[in-house]
Amino acid sequence: MSPRRFFVGGNWKMNGDKKSLGDLINTLNTAQLHPDTEVVCGAPAIYLDFARSNLDASIGVAAQNCYKVSKGAFTGEISPAMIKDCGVEWVILGHSERRHVFGENDELIGQKVAHALESGLGVIACIGEKLDEREAGITEKVVFAQTQAIADNVKDWSKVVLAYEPVWAIGTGKTASPQQAQEVHDKLRQWMKANVSEEVADSVRIIYGGSVTGGTCKELGSQDDVDGFLVGGASLKPEFVDIINARA
């Protein structure tokens, strides 16, 4: 197995309330989680403080988005400085829902990545093609362009986890086959080697997202270049524990 530490992120998206999230947090705090797996939960902004205050210190917390500056007249936005002030150490950026529902482009996502990293947050940076792009045979072109926009804004890759999430597999119940996931992850690692460095290509964690469940996680997690998962719906359920322990 690779020396890269397995990483499992749970993206709660716009779900939960204090009662249901409190129950989930209690489940995670009392479960036997594989000690070699890094676990991070992406909470809605309004619950970041609640999640960080209640989750065991061994489990990380992520914001699901942030803005590209530290403060100012940006109604409805949150900054990395505020996220850090809540004791939270990660942010998810470039998720396909931010790109395709809210219209965020590569340039804005790159600026956000740069500012989050400068502020000392870890970044879970998301990339992935839509169904029409895969069917047109341009998956690599799309994900390489998205990765380039991120890479242009990264100085320290130790603070970045790259999440490959084929948009056609998010919340649809369709999962990329383990072979499809491995193929793209391998191509991404080759791209990193050619465009960043061999050292970064070997060390950066590339995780898979897109309808990951307790049933699909073991085979996906056994692929050489799949270093973990970004989990959506299943991260709100007790089966998230099984996904965390995919390599146990």
pLDDT tens per residue, range 142-191: 999 999 999 999 999 999 999 999 999 988 888 889 999 999 999 999 99
Q: What is the dihedral of CA 243, 244, 247, 248, to 10 degrees?
A: -110
| Predicted pLDDT at 175 | 81
**What is the pTM for the complete model shown?**
0.97
152 C-beta neighbours (distance < 10 Å), count:
13
- The set of catalytic residues is 95, 165
195 C-beta neighbours (distance < 10 Å), count:
14
- Residue from 203, 174, 237, 223 nearest 12 by CA: 237
Give the separation between CA 105 and CA 108, rounded to whole angstroms: 6
Provide the percentage of residues in the chain whose pLDDT is more than 90.
94
Give the separation between CA 54 and CA 46, rounded to whole angstroms: 14
Number of Cα atoms under 13 Å in the Cβ half of residue 101: 6
CB-based contact 122:90 (threshold 8 Å): yes
